């Protein structure tokens, strides 16, 4: 995962409509902190950089560069677990 990747949810892996979990074939993955907000932005169209730019507007006072690093790391972990493609 890089700032220019375009992440997309893998079919059969999805955010629960209300709870802080991702539904995966064998169960659930618990999400912590702002992970849910990040995943809500993943649409298979925008790059990680664009997603972070959007999010930064919501989290006042957040440093966009730092946020980019965190989001790339988070999405990278989810991609490794098969939740995301791209």
Partner 1 sequence: MPATTRPQSLICEVTHRCPLHCLYCSNPIEMQQSAAELPAEVWRRVFQEAAAMGILHLHLTGGEPLARKDLAELIQAGHEAGLYVNMVTSGVGMTEERLAGLVQAGLEHLQLSFQDADEARANYIAGTRAHAWKLGLVPLIKRQRLAFTVNLVVHRQNLDCLEEMIALAESLEPNRIEIAHVQYYGWALKNRSLLMPTEEQVQYALPVVEAAKTRLRGKIHLDAVLPDYYANFPKACVGGWGRQMILIDPAGRALPCHSAGILLGFEFDNVREKSLSWIWEQSPAFERFRGDAWMSETCRSCDRKERDFGGCRCQAFLLTGDMEAIDPVCTYSPQHGLMEELRKPVGDELLPIYRNS
Coil, strand or helix: which one is 62? coil
Q: Which listed residue (6, 56, 62, 79) binds partner 1 by CB under 8 A?
A: 79
Q: Is 25 in the site for partner 1 (CB under 8 A)?
A: yes
Binding flag, residue 81, partner 1 (CB under 8 A):
yes
User: Is the separation of the CB atoms in 85 and 10 below 8 Å?
Assistant: yes
Residue 29 binds partner 1 (CB under 8 A): no
Residue 29 CA: distances (Å) to CA of 40, 76, 77, 86: 15, 15, 12, 19
56 binds partner 1, rule: CB under 8 A: no
Which residues here bind partner 1, judged by CB under 8 A?
A: 10-14, 16-17, 21, 23-28, 79-82
């Amino acid at each position: 995962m890089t700032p220019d990747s375009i992440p997309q949810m893998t079919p059969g892996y999805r955010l629960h409509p209300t709870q802080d979990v991702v539904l995966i074939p064998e169960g659930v993955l618990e999400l912590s902190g702002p992970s849910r907000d990040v995943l809500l932005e993943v649409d298979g169209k925008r790059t990680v950089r664009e997603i972070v730019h959007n999010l930064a507007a919501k989290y006042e006072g957040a440093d966009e560069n730092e946020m980019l690093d965190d989001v790339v790391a988070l999405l990278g972990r989810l991609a490794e677990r098969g939740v995301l493609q791209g």
